[in-house]
Chain A
Amino acid sequence: MISLHQKTLALLGGIAVALGALAPVARADQELLNASYDIGRELYAAVNKSFEPYWKEKTGEDVKIKQSHAGSSKQARSILEGLPADLVTFNTFTDVQLLADKGFVAKNWQQQFPHKASPFYSVHSILVRKGNPKGIKDWSDLARPGVKIVQVNPKLGGNGRYAVLAYYAYGLEVHNGDTAQAREFLKKVLANVVVFESGGRSATTTFTEREIGDVLVNFESETLFLSRGADSKFEAVTPSVSVLSEFPVAVVERVAKKRGTEVVAKGYLDFLYTPAGQEIIARNFYRPRDPVVAKQHENVLKPVKAVEVDAVFGGWPKATETFFANNALFDTLLREIAAERK
């Protein structure tokens, strides 16, 4: 019996030592928690690596940035329930607005940083298989019979809504604003969609791993990332016109005030707008706001006419109502397509 006790003690001791050995060591003067969207890891890992020495040189303070990544909406909810994030870097406006409505973020958050508090943007773009076997050059090629498209379901995700609005915006552009012809073009493209996926990453997996479809429509940050390197099995095609997607940022004042991190949190978000920050952003395939940096990366981030949802569609609430509400244009077109197939 004694030996059993000794063994138990030894085991517990061993576990304690093992846990101790795994324990973290260094502690910085200040810690910031950046709550971000779910696929922004590479970008913010690179930003943090540059920001920490930048801040040290500027202020003499050691700062350590911690990252939390999950869907924007889940992050917003978690912050409302007490996740102590000092700042947010999201990919949808509505989730920051939710925090502003609840008093966690300043009411005028869109004015606190340039470009409506969106230090970079992306557009919806096209990914094709190596060699571009279907000869896709622009959205117009997606309307050709026999082209198979994979995209996100606009009923389920913002990603899919951007895609549909991009087709329509292109239709308006080439038909000089003729809505009937834009509608007809949108219908032709939608008829070619073979999979409406539930989310951006699952759409990508369907196209790349399950090898379904000729074309993947997704954020440019994704299509360029997937086509990088000489051994990539894919090619990115930049369309002539697309819809601009913003990546809003804000300081979570309620948390930062309590933790005394307001200055460094603002400093972090300002850093995203500096040439150094913009350079990191461009290298991670997001489009920088700084025209000089944008020019330097023009061979990858090719010129595109990026239209804003506010300007062309009268803002998201109106676009949702016209296109994506029940029995709105998207539903109607799908029904017409189904009827014509019979």
Chain B
Amino acid sequence: MSALSAFFPSAAPEAQRPATRDTPWLRWSLTGVALLFVAGFLVIPLTAVFAEALRKGAEVYWAALVDPDALAALRLTLTAAVIAVPLNVVFGVAAAWAIAKFDFPGKSFLTTLIDLPFAVSPVIAGLAFVLVFGLQGWLPPEAQAELLAPAVARELAAIPGLGWALGGLAEWLANPRIVFAVPGIALATIFVTVPFVARELIPLMQAQGNDEEYAALTLGANGWQTFWRVTLPNVKWGLFYGVVLCNARAMGEFGAVSVVSGHVRGETNTLPLHVEILYNEYQFAGAFAVASLLALLAIATLILKSLIEWRLTLNREQNL
């Protein structure tokens, strides 16, 4: 009983109470356990990545990073992020704006839909794309060609020079490929990163309420002006925060991308897939070198995130 009351002190009559009544012994051991946990699950593995990466010397490390396949994987990872993040910014802002500022039928359904990628295993998501766009799927490449590239695109591709000038776009339209090619990887990346921006903005926008927008409208601003000059600046830092998280996930995604990739070296392997391949080929130093590159990208993202968080609290305090 006395042990219990140490954890659940009854409402104390004293006017002044210390912040905690736990014995220093208990406090320090709890802190110690937490620190051990952080060290065991975060610091040690992360250190191990860099230690393993550099074990065979800086030369091997560098060689693994400038390997053509690694560079191609880096390019693809960045491409996927460059496609997925802006699209998710547009979608996330639009969805958050609709959900936080307006009432409409189906609102909770939309909210659930946005959370779907969190609930669905990424592998299932990738498989779904294969089942839809694959050769045996609902919308196989032939049907995609009919749908995406009406005769015009094929004509465009046939004109010498133009196909080249459009950077392969016309060529792609005439012979579209989604799964086992870059579009599929971009699609899979977009799918798994959908919730990040919207999830970040919705609570923020809801907390801010509609007062400032009403004020703007009363003063004669139209919808666009209200959005650009009032709504967006108010959520600016929250949006950046969402973008950073979205980007981190886009670059780190493995499961969904693995299913739609086709694993063509130098073409459809992203950095995480490249790490797996190197590891399976006993090129441990190389695998850890590329993994450390991913870890560095993640650490840079975390630093950026902390900076934004710091600005965010600063902003909130100023607003109060």
A45 nearest in chain B by CB position: B265
The answer to whether A198 has its CB under 8 Å from any CB of chain B is no
Contact, CB under 8 Å: A78 / B180: yes
Q: In this complex, which of A22, A70, A81 has the most chain B Cβ atoms within 10 angstroms of its Cβ?
A: A81
Encoded as 1 (CB less than 8 Å from any B CB) or 0, chain A from 150 to 176 comes to 000000000000000000000000000
The answer to whether A290 has its CB under 8 Å from any CB of chain B is no
The answer to whether A283 has its CB under 8 Å from any CB of chain B is no
The answer to whether B263 has its CB under 8 Å from any CB of chain A is yes
Interface size, chain A (Cβ < 8 Å):
24
B265: chain A residues within 8 A (beta carbon): 66-69
Contact of A39 among B262, B263, B280 (CB under 8 A): B280
Residue pairs across A and B with CB atoms within 8 Å: the count is 63
A66: chain B residues within 8 A (beta carbon): 264-267
A19-B79, A22-B75 given; A82·B180 CB < 8 A: yes
38-55 of chain A: CB within 8 A of chain B: 38-39, 41-42
The answer to whether A9 has its CB under 8 Å from any CB of chain B is no
Contact, CB under 8 Å: B134 / A82: yes
CA distance A335 to B75 in the complex (A): 53
Contact, CB under 8 Å: A24 / B266: yes
The answer to whether B186 has its CB under 8 Å from any CB of chain A is no
Contact of B262 among A18, A42, A78 (CB under 8 A): A78
Encoded as 1 (CB less than 8 Å from any B CB) or 0, chain A from 70 to 111 comes to 100000001011111000000000000000000000000000
The answer to whether A201 has its CB under 8 Å from any CB of chain B is yes
A218 CB → nearest B CB, Å: 13
The answer to whether B137 has its CB under 8 Å from any CB of chain A is yes
Interface size, chain B (Cβ < 8 Å):
29
Contact, CB under 8 Å: B263 / A68: yes
Contact, CB under 8 Å: A69 / B277: yes
A19-B78, A82-B134 given; A67·B180 CB < 8 A: no
The answer to whether A195 has its CB under 8 Å from any CB of chain B is no
The answer to whether B251 has its CB under 8 Å from any CB of chain A is no
A200 nearest in chain B by CB position: B280
The answer to whether A15 has its CB under 8 Å from any CB of chain B is yes
Encoded as 1 (CB less than 8 Å from any A CB) or 0, chain B from 167 to 202 comes to 000000000010110000000000000000000000
A19 CB → nearest B CB, Å: 6
Contact of B263 among A69, A80, A204 (CB under 8 A): A69
Contact, CB under 8 Å: B141 / A82: yes
A284 CB → nearest B CB, Å: 12
B136: chain A residues within 8 A (beta carbon): 80-81
Q: In this complex, which of B71, B134, B140, B264 has the most chain A Cβ atoms within 10 angstroms of its Cβ?
A: B264
B180: chain A residues within 8 A (beta carbon): 78, 81-84
B75: chain A residues within 8 A (beta carbon): 19, 22-23
A68-B263, A68-B265 given; A80·B135 CB < 8 A: yes
Contact, CB under 8 Å: B71 / A22: yes
CA distance A85 to B282 in the complex (A): 25
The answer to whether A33 has its CB under 8 Å from any CB of chain B is yes
CA distance A41 to B279 in the complex (A): 12
A81-B134, A82-B179, A201-B280 given; A15·B78 CB < 8 A: yes
A38 nearest in chain B by CB position: B280
CA distance A66 to B181 in the complex (A): 13
B140: chain A residues within 8 A (beta carbon): 82
CA distance A81 to B134 in the complex (A): 4
Q: In this complex, which of A15, A18, A66, A78 has the most chain B Cβ atoms within 10 angstroms of its Cβ?
A: A78
Contact, CB under 8 Å: A33 / B264: yes
Q: In this complex, which of A42, A82, A83, A201 has the most chain B Cβ atoms within 10 angstroms of its Cβ?
A: A82
A42: chain B residues within 8 A (beta carbon): 281
Encoded as 1 (CB less than 8 Å from any B CB) or 0, chain A from 58 to 69 comes to 000000001111
CA distance A14 to B268 in the complex (A): 23
The answer to whether B291 has its CB under 8 Å from any CB of chain A is no
A68: chain B residues within 8 A (beta carbon): 262-265, 268
CA distance A43 to B268 in the complex (A): 21
A68-B262, A70-B263, A82-B177 given; A24·B72 CB < 8 A: yes
Q: 14 interchain pairs (CB within 8 A)?
A: A22-B71, A22-B78, A24-B266, A41-B277, A68-B268, A69-B265, A70-B263, A81-B130, A81-B136, A81-B180, A82-B133, A82-B179, A83-B180, A204-B282
Known: A19-B75, A19-B78. 8 other contacts (CB 8 A): A22-B78, A23-B75, A39-B280, A67-B265, A68-B265, A80-B136, A82-B179, A83-B180
